[in-house]
């Protein structure tokens, strides 16, 4: 009974939160009475329907998702490789620490502007800045996951004669898989948000960020808000999917 009540709450509480946000939006829009400041729900829905009927929206969506995928694979791959080497080699870990610190401190807007000048490509600059922002956080989380592993299990496998590659493949990777998947989900979601922001600043062609830029420039607040909602929903769906896969793996184990 307690489990059933918990599942019911897990379903209804998020629904209640969303309903509350929608209610606040509706009341605020009605109180302001100015569509250019905060469009009503009805106007925003109409703009979203019009957006879905346009081919340029799908070209932009595919472009943004593709760039996000490239940035995600690059940042997650490099972060994983660096985390593994850092765990295995303390000297490398010490050498990498200040570099990760510098990457964390990089101002995103300044990096985008510099990359636009250096690369002469809005698309490449958006990908690079997303990688640079995501890499240190992903690295730190993966490194912490490795450090949190049960050392006795790892040491026992070494005593049994397993080399470092076998330990990594058959012991460490399966143990951190759920954590890595959750990190991948939140990482991809954050990649997507950062990519859109980078696209807005760099005016990347065929991108959701560029559509937001255009909507803002011509005063189409409803279309801008519709694009923001689409981006939020897509990010949440991706993160939820990765979390569900991680949960399935935990239950299977």
Query: pLDDT tens across 132-153, in order?
Result: 888 888 888 888 887 777 666 6
Average pLDDT estimate for 96-102: 86
pLDDT at 58: 92
Which residues, in sequence order, are CB contacts of 71 under 8 Å at separation 6+?
Answer: 126, 127, 130, 131, 134, 191, 194, 195
Q: Which residue has the higher pLDDT, 241 or 143?
A: 143
Topology (CATH level 3) of domain 40-252:
MetI-like fold (1.10.3720)
Instruction: Using pLDDT thresholds of 50, 70 and 90, give the confidence band for residue 156.
Output: low
Highest-confidence segment of 34-38, 200-204, 205-209: 205-209
Q: Which residue has the higher pLDDT, 155 or 22?
A: 22
pLDDT at 59: 92
CB distance 238 to 189 below 8 Å: yes
CA distance 54 to 223: 12
All structural domains of the chain with their residue ranges? 1-33, 40-252
Scanning the structure block, which residue is given the tokens 């997507």? 192
pLDDT at 3: 47
Query: pLDDT tens across 160-197, in order?
Result: 555 666 666 666 777 777 777 777 777 777 888 888 88
Average pLDDT estimate for 67-89: 88
CA distance 202 to 64: 13
Predicted confidence (pLDDT) at residue 221 exceeds the cutoff of 80: yes
Contacts 24+ apart (CB under 8 A), 218-221: 219/36, 220/47, 221/35, 221/36, 221/37, 221/38, 221/39
């Amino acid at each position: 009974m307690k489990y059933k009540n918990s599942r019911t709450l897990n379903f209804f509480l998020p629904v209640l939160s969303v309903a509350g946000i929608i209610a606040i939006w509706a009341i605020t829009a009605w109180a302001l009475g100015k569509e250019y400041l905060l469009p009503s729900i009805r106007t925003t829905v109409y703009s979203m329907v019009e957006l879905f009927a346009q081919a340029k929206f799908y070209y932009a969506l595919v472009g943004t998702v593709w760039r996000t995928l490239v940035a995600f694979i690059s940042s997650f791959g490099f972060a994983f490789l660096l985390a593994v080497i850092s765990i295995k080699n303390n000297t490398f870990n010490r050498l990498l620490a200040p570099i990760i610190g510098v990457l964390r401190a990089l101002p995103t807007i300044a990096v985008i502007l510099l990359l636009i000048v250096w690369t002469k490509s809005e698309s490449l600059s958006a990908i690079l800045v997303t990688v640079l922002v995501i890499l240190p956080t992903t690295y730190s989380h993966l490194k912490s996951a490795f450090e949190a592993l049960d050392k006795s299990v790892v040491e026992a496998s070494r005593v049994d004669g397993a080399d470092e590659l076998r330990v990594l493949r058959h012991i460490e990777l399966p143990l951190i898989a759920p954590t890595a998947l959750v990190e991948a989900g939140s990482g991809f979601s954050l990649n997507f948000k950062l990519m859109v922001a980078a696209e807005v600043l760099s005016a990347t062609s065929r991108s959701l960020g560029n559509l937001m830029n255009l909507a803002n420039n011509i005063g189409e607040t409803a279309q801008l808000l519709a694009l923001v909602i689409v981006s939020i929903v897509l990010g949440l769906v991706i993160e939820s999917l990765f979390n569900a896969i991680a949960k399935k793996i935990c239950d299977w184990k």
